[in-house]
Amino acid sequence: MPTVVALVAAMGVVLAGCTADADARASVAGGGRKAAEREERGAVRTALRRLVTDGTAPGAAALVRDGGGARFTAAGVADTRSGRRVERDDRFRAGSVTKTVIAALTLRLAGEGRLGLGDTVEQHLPGLVRGQGNNGRKITVGQLLTHTSGLFDYTADPVLAGQLSATEGTDGTNGAEGTDGTGRTEAHSPASLVRAALTHRPAFAPGAKWHYSNTNYVLLGMIVERVTGRSYAAGAERRILDPLALRATSFPGVRTTLPAPHGRAYDSRGGRWRDVTDLDPSSAGAAGEMISTLGDLSRLLGALLRGQVVPKAQLRRMEDTSASGGRYGMGLFPVRLPCGTTVWGHNGEVSGSYALAVATRDGRRTLVYRLNSAGPPAPKAETALLTAVFCPKR
């Protein structure tokens, strides 16, 4: 019979052998993972460079986050004059990615019993939605969230569009035309944006079809303020941004400048880049005023899809696309890739900026990318970028 010492010695050999095998397998797996990450980063860099070289934007940047950490890649420049490169922590206007936050906030309030998805607009904003066949008594909060209200999109109103275009300068500042005489643009109240939409007839009866309209989310912001007695920005900060420590995300209100650090924002007219960094965000409001970073949007979307922002039952409502024929849920939409993978998220477009934040349904792998010009880019170019991240080669 072996002695205790012999047994311990034998066990030591066996355990050492198991550890060596495990280390070898881990080394192989780690090497494979690093190789996959290098391949992914190369494909992402190629996709971003194409977006820059084809004239879509002066600069582009992406952040991929998963269990292996976060990987930042950029191409082009953040400032065409100085040649400054795009940095990971740069602030930018996130546009309609704001809708994801407003939708989550609305659902949180519904979960708290402050409002119901079946509530009508008239219940919370009496007398506001009327005229030209529009009827707030027949439009529900849920229909606003899913873009099935039929309300006209105020951004397509030619009078309002003309006013907004007139106040865009050519040197990164707002022009004097349409201002209060001091060079500052007159802020657009949410009610004034809604009134612009209500000069048009609805596209269809509430709930009958689907049509993306920024008017829906401006109204949601107004409803949130009515039921809480505080601004939607304050509500979002308290219930969503602060718990997730998203300290680089903000709602500027009427502040025309971006917080530091930031690059410049551009649009292209006459074959040259025009600086449109400073603008009046009040014309976007709850539909798209938010400022953020790649990192904050990545953490926001990952936490949301992991059930850390709204309860799972409400998250399922956000992902329910039945009302839109599979196109849109509540502040989220699916993107189906050629490899069969479906990712979830939202994009945002505002003068001088385009962003897209998407993630796997479990929230474990996210991609956020941005351009410093208004998009969206060509569908093939965007699909190439998403495929590089979510459809690895076998």
| Catalytic residue annotation | 96
HSE-up (13 A, CA, CB side) for residue 167? 25
Whether 358 contacts 386, CB under 8 Å: yes
CA 43 to chain centre: 23
138: Cβ contacts below 8 Å, ≥ 6 apart: 120, 205, 206
17 membership: H or E segment, kind and range: helix 4-53
The Cα–Cα gap between 335 and 356 comes to 11
Whether 218 contacts 160, CB under 8 Å: no
DSSP 214: H
373: Cβ contacts below 8 Å, ≥ 6 apart: 56, 57, 58, 265, 266, 267, 268, 273, 352, 353, 354
